[in-house]
Amino acid sequence: RVKSLPKNFVWGGATAAYQVEGATKVDGKGKTMWDDYLKQQGRFAPDPASDFYHLYPEDIILSKMYGLNAIRLSISWTRIFPEGYGKPNQTGVDYYHRLFKCCIDNGVTPYVSLHHFDSPKTLFEDGDWLNRKNIDYFVDYADFCFKEFSEIENWFTINELISLAFSQYIQGNFPPNHHFDVSNAIQAEHNELLVHARVVNLFKDKGYTGRIGLIHVLQPVYPYPNTPENTHAAQCEDAFMNTFLLDGTFKGEYEPDTMKLVNEVLKANDAHLTIEPGDMETLKKASTRNDYFGMNYYQPSFVAAYNGESTNTFNGTGEKGTSSFKFKGVGQHVKNPEIPTTDWDWNIYPKGLYDMLKWVSKTYKNCKTIYITENGLGYKDEYKGIGEEIDDEPRIDFIDQHVEALLKARNEGVDVQGYFVWSLQDQFSWANGYNKRYGLFYVNFDTQAREIKKSAKWFKELADTMGS
C-alpha cells in the first residue's frame, strides 16, 4: 500500500440523525415523513435505533479510541423546528450544542448535514421538495443553523439528492411510495439542486465561515453485455441518476448531451420537467462556490436495454436474488456473473469508486476537494455474546479494497481528503430495518450495548499507520 496520505487525512464514521438518535418523541421533536409511515407499515420502528440521542458520549469516545478523527452527523430539522418553520425548539438546539461539543472536545471533527432523508411531516404532506414554499422554509432553517452552530466548520446541505427522488418516486421504497412517477422524480432532483444552490449562495453572501458542499451518491452504470444498445441504456440511466445532478451542482447548467438523454427518458414515460425563470441563474451562481464535494459510493449497476413496461421489486430483507428493476426507455438491471453481490443484491465493485473519482475530477472543474462521505458493507453480523469480538472479515475486505481504489485515484492526482465508513455504529436502515448492519461497532438493539467488531480494530490500524 502506498503511504502517501497527509497527516490530516480524515478517517471518519458516518451517521444520520434519524438512523441513530432514536428518541423520536421526546423533548419537543416534531414528526418526520417517516414516523407514521413506519408505524403503518409495521415492519420496524425508528426507536430505539442506536439511542445516540442519549449514548452519543459513548460512541464519540469509541470513535476516538479506534482512530477516527471525524464523524458525519446530521441535524434533525424537526428537533429544531418541529413543524419545519416557526419558533425554534430550544431543547433541540441545546442537544446539538452538547453533541458538537463532545465531538470537538474529543478531537473527532463533526461534518454536519442539514437534511438526511428526514423532511418534517407537515412539509412532506404539503409536497416535500416539489413544493417551492418548502424550499424557503429550508433556507430559513439552514440560515438559523449557520448562525446558531458557529462551532461547526464543515457543512453539507442535503445528503444524496438522487436517493430521495429515486426512492420516493421511482423505486417506491420511501414514502410516498410512488413507482416510476418520472415527472415527480426529475422535478424533485431539480428542486433539490435549487435548494442546495440557494443555501450555498446564502452561506457565501452572508459571509459565514467554514466550508459548505453537498453529498451525491454516485452509482456508475456499465452496459452488460457490452453492446451498442446496452451502452445507450447505460448512458440514459447515468444521465438520469448522476450527470443531471452533477451538471446542476458544478456547472450550473444541464449540458445539452445530458438533456438529450434525460429528455429521451422523459419522453418514453410521458414525463416533463419545469424549470422556472431564475432557477438556472441560481444554480450558476452556486456552481463555483462549493468548497468541497461529499461522494458516497456503494455499488455500480449493470444495465441492458429495455423498452417494456416499468416494474421493480425491492430487496429489503436480505434474501439474495429478490430484487429486480426494469425502467421503460432506460434499461433493466442485470446480474454480471463475474461480480459478487451482497445479500441485498448490491454489486461489490471497488473499481467503480476509482472510475467515479477519476471521472468527476476530470469532468467537473468546479469540483475541488472530494471526501468519500459514505462507503461500507451491509452484512448480517453474528453476535457472539457480551464482550466477544464480532468477526466481520467480509467488511474488512470491502473497506480495504475501496480504500485501495481511493488511493489509486489519489496517487493519480484526484484530490481526495478523507474517507468516512458507513457506518460508525450499527443503525436503523430506512427500508431494511435492523438486520442490515454496517457499523464498525456492533449495537445490541435490545440492550443498546456496543461490541467491538474486528473491522473497528482493523480500521484503527489503517488510520494509525496511514497518513502518520
Instruction: State in angstroms the smallest separation of the CB of 385 from ligand BGP.
Output: 26
Shortest-Cβ-distance residue relative to ligand BGP: 429
Q: What pairing do the DSSP bridges indicate for beta strands 154-159 and 211-217?
A: parallel
Told to judge if 83 belongs to the known catalytic residues of this protein, a careful annotator would answer no
Q: What pairing do the DSSP bridges indicate for beta strands 292-296 and 369-374?
A: parallel
CA 169 – CA 178 distance, rounded (Å): 5
CA 199 – CA 234 distance, rounded (Å): 32
Nearer to ligand BGP, 249 or 287 (CB): 249
Nearer to ligand BGP, 399 or 431 (CB): 431
Amino acid letter at 348?
I
Instruction: State in angstroms the smallest separation of the CB of 202 from ligand BGP.
Output: 24
Contact 442, 455 (CB under 8 A): no
CA 185 – CA 73 distance, rounded (Å): 26
Nearer to ligand BGP, 215 or 233 (CB): 215
Q: Which of 21, 192, 374, 451 is catalytic?
A: 374
Nearer to ligand BGP, 156 or 254 (CB): 156
Instruction: State in angstroms the smallest separation of the CB of 274 from ligand BGP.
Output: 27
CA distances from 360 to 217, 218, 457 (A): 12, 10, 32
Among 214, 164, 155, CA closest to 189: 164
CA 131 – CA 135 distance, rounded (Å): 7
Instruction: State in angstroms the smallest separation of the CB of 296 from ligand BGP.
Output: 6
Binding residues (CB under 6 A) for ligand BGP: these are 16, 19, 159-160, 163, 217, 296, 374, 378, 422, 429-432, 436
Nearer to ligand BGP, 16 or 440 (CB): 16
Nearer to ligand BGP, 84 or 439 (CB): 439
Instruction: State in angstroms the smallest separation of the CB of 136 from ligand BGP.
Output: 25
405: cell is: 481504489
DSSP for residue 293: E
Nearer to ligand BGP, 166 or 458 (CB): 166
Instruction: State in angstroms the smallest separation of the CB of 214 from ligand BGP.
Output: 12
Nearer to ligand BGP, 151 or 397 (CB): 397
CA 425 – CA 415 distance, rounded (Å): 27
Amino acid letter at 434?
Y
The DSSP annotation for 257-277 comes to HHHHHHHHHHHHTT------T
Q: Which of 160, 189, 192, 451 is catalytic?
A: 160
Instruction: State in angstroms the smallest separation of the CB of 318 from ligand BGP.
Output: 10
What is Dmax (Cα atoms) for the chain? 60
DSSP for residue 87: S
Q: Is the peptide bond before 176 cis (omega within 30 degrees of 0)?
A: yes
Instruction: State in angstroms the smallest separation of the CB of 346 from ligand BGP.
Output: 8
26, burial (CB in 10 Å: exposed 0-12, middle 13-18, buried 19+) = middle
CA 312 – CA 265 distance, rounded (Å): 17
338: cell is: 463475474
Told to judge if 160 belongs to the known catalytic residues of this protein, a careful annotator would answer yes
Strand, helix or coil for residue 80? helix
Contact 49, 21 (CB under 8 A): yes
CA 179 – CA 174 distance, rounded (Å): 10
Nearer to ligand BGP, 50 or 159 (CB): 159
Instruction: State in angstroms the smallest separation of the CB of 59 from ligand BGP.
Output: 16
CA distances from 50 to 24, 40, 242, 290 (A): 12, 22, 31, 32
Active site residues: 160, 374
